[in-house]
Amino acid sequence: MLNRRNFLADSAMRAGFLSIAPSLHQVLAAPTITSAPRRFIFIRKSSGIRPKEIAPLNLSDQHRRLDEMKEPFETALDGHELPLWLRGLEPYRERMTILQGLSAKMSENIHWSFSSVMGCFKSNRNTLSAIKRTTIDFELAKLFPSPFGHVELSFAAGRTGIVDGYSAPAPQTRNYCYADPETARQELFKSVLNADAVSSDNDMLSFLQTREGMLLGGIRGREKQRQQAHLNSIDAISARNQQLLEISDSIAQHIPEIAPVHTAGGPNASTPEKQLAMTDVLIAAMKAGLTNVVTYTIDDLGTPITGLPGNETDRVGIHPLGHDEAFGGVPAWKTREQIRISHVNQIRTIIDRFSSVPEGDGTMFDNTMIMYFPENGETHHGVGSEAPFLIMSGKNCSLDLAGRYIRLPFLGNEGHKTLGNWYTTLLNAHGNPLEHYGDLDPEMSRKKLPQTGPIAQFIPAG
């Protein structure tokens, strides 16, 4: 865990690569259909999503054959039976997309992806020097500024407090993340819960700025540029703190309640309890306008799963579960399904809550996109040839894909699309016209097949 002084210095450095101090008008203005920001929630899961697990159960014979052969097609979800684990989202199936056929070979696979699944590069197990670019979540946060810019949450094994994250605000720069609900609540809502601490933080930042400023005279070249960025970041985080203090009355309306079981990192809280508490914090932060982009690592291979229906008294290990080890006499496939159900419960909670908040001529959910996907590809030992995505998108989504099961051409075939194509599509549709995001796929390159640009079929005509 980071101590306060290191956290302030480190987070200032990371935060400065993002514009995190929009005007008060931006934060407090009544949302309208034209002014409401777009919101993005990335939910990363471990141990893969097997393509068959996410496919509708009653595809036509023709579509089932195409699906098994991994040939491209699409069909409306209306009239199709969803897999058991997705049925909690049944009321919102018209806003659902099941996207098959994306590959992620340029990312790391097997057990872990670290930063790479968010940045389309090989991160060498999150080695700092290997972080090649700003990750997709931070790129989107630049397009829709907010006081915190981007927020990262994580339930990883043995981690509480403020820890290293998996996203990157810039090349060779790790993000930080909140690893338990109470820490996330205390830090995101600090301007109301502990205004004195915010003022103290500003004093610390002023000290760091003076100390670092004195060092500038003795450094040169790239290191001087990095140090200057550090100083600029301190200014930015200090300005953010001041802004949060000024709008604290508005923020106070959205402070989430956290049960006592979550204090001190919540060691006695069950996994469903932890997930619900973190989801409450995520929802509150977005409703308060503190952020428009959240990345949520909902589990990793070391995350102990407790209190799961069917395995209430077990401490389930995701890694042995991936190797088909049963817990409490429950088959591994069934426990894996129950884990996915617990994830979908969080997605359903977010949609339900956002759907109850008026915004413009609709609701908050109308301006939100939730993406649930495997960090490591198509199975426990993923190879990245497939990376299934579950996408829930509101009515104002800038992409044309809702209500459909879509299988894209398989890796190595004409028209195949990679994770980089998907992220390019997100950026192009929301104001960043870059030609292509991320590294290229080596197999597609060997075959000299086109692989840059967005997925054109998802971008509405005109």
- CA 140/CA 445 separation, integer angstroms: 27
In angstroms, rounded to a whole number, what is the distance separating the alpha carbons of residues 169 and 18? 7
Is 204 inside a domain boundary?
A: no
Report the distance separating Cα 314 and Cα 328, nearest Å: 7
Please report whether residue 226 resides in a domain.
no
CB atoms closer than 10 angstroms to residue 356 = 10
d(CA 412, CA 401): 23
- Burial call 131-142: b when 16+ CB within 10 Å, e when fewer: bbbbbbbbbbbb
* 259 φ, ψ (degrees, to nearest 5): -65, 150
Distance CA(48)–CA(109), nearest Å, equals 9
What 3-state class would DSSP assign to 296? strand
Distance CA 31, CA 35 (A): 6
Average pLDDT over residues 433-452: 95
> Is the pLDDT score of 13 beyond 70?
no
Q: Between 191 and 265, where is the model more confident?
A: 191
How confident is residue 289, by pLDDT bands cut at 50, 70 and 90? very high
User: pLDDT at residue 246 above 90?
Assistant: no
In this prediction, residue 24 carries a pLDDT of 33
d(CA 32, CA 210): 42
Residue 3 lies in a domain: no
- Is residue 371 a part of any domain in this protein? yes
pLDDT at 317 over 90: yes
Q: What tens digit of pLDDT does each residue of 105-138 get?
A: 999 998 989 999 999 999 888 898 999 999 999 9
Whether the pLDDT of residue 100 is over 50: the answer is yes
pLDDT of residue 23: 33
pLDDT higher at 83 or 10: 83
Supply the range of the domain harboring residue 438. 29-193+268-458
Of the chain, the percentage scoring pLDDT greater than 70 comes to 84
Residue 140 included in any domain: yes
Q: Tell me the H-state helices in 91-194.
A: 116-119, 136-143, 181-188, 190-193
237 confidence band (pLDDT: 50, 70, 90): confident
261 vs 454 pLDDT, higher one: 454
Q: How many domains does the chain have?
A: 1
What would the pLDDT profile of 381-408 be if each residue is shown by its tens digit? 999 999 999 999 999 999 999 999 999 9
CATH classification of the domain holding 286: 3.40.720.10
pLDDT, one tens digit per residue, over 176-209 is 999 999 999 999 999 999 887 776 665 555 655 5
Q: Give the largest CA-CA distance in the chain.
A: 72
CA nearest neighbour of 177 among 132, 234, 138: 138
Please say if the pLDDT value at position 14 is more than 70. no
Q: For residues 339 and 296, what is the distance between their CA atoms, to the nearest angstrom?
A: 15
Show contacts of 158-166: CB within 8 Å, 24+ apart: 158/302, 160/1, 160/265, 160/266, 161/1, 161/2, 161/265, 162/1, 162/2, 162/7, 162/11, 162/187, 163/1, 163/2, 164/126, 165/295, 166/44, 166/113, 166/114, 166/115, 166/118, 166/126, 166/295, 166/297
The number of C-alpha atoms within 13 Å of 210 and in the hemisphere containing its C-beta is 5
Task: Establish if 198 belongs to a structural domain.
Answer: no
pLDDT band per the 50, 70, 90 thresholds, residue 265: confident
Average pLDDT over residues 93-98: 98
- Answer whether residue 26 shows pLDDT above 80: no
| Average pLDDT across the chain, whole number | 88
pLDDT beyond 50 at 32? no
**Cα(392)–Cα(354) distance, integer angstroms:** 12
| The residue type at 361 | D
Q: Band of the pLDDT at 29, cuts 50, 70, 90?
A: very low
CA 250/CA 460 separation, integer angstroms:
36
Q: Tell me, yes or no, whether 376 lies in a domain.
A: yes
Whether 213 shows a pLDDT value over 90: the answer reads: no
User: Buried b vs exposed e over 33-63: b needs ≥16 C-beta within 10 Å?
Assistant: eeebbbbbbbbbbbbbbbbebbbbeebeeeb
Residue 444 CA to its chain's centroid (Å): 27
pLDDT at 267: 78
Tens of pLDDT along 135-166? Answer: 999 999 999 999 999 999 998 877 899 999 99
Beta strands in 266-388 (DSSP E): 293-297, 304-308, 311-317, 358-359, 362-363, 368-374
* Banded model confidence at residue 33, pLDDT cuts 50, 70, 90: very low
Cα torsion angle, 62, 68, 71, 76, sign: positive
Query: What share of the chain has pLDDT > 90, as a percent?
Result: 71
DSSP 48: -
Classify residue 148: in a domain, yes or no.
Answer: yes
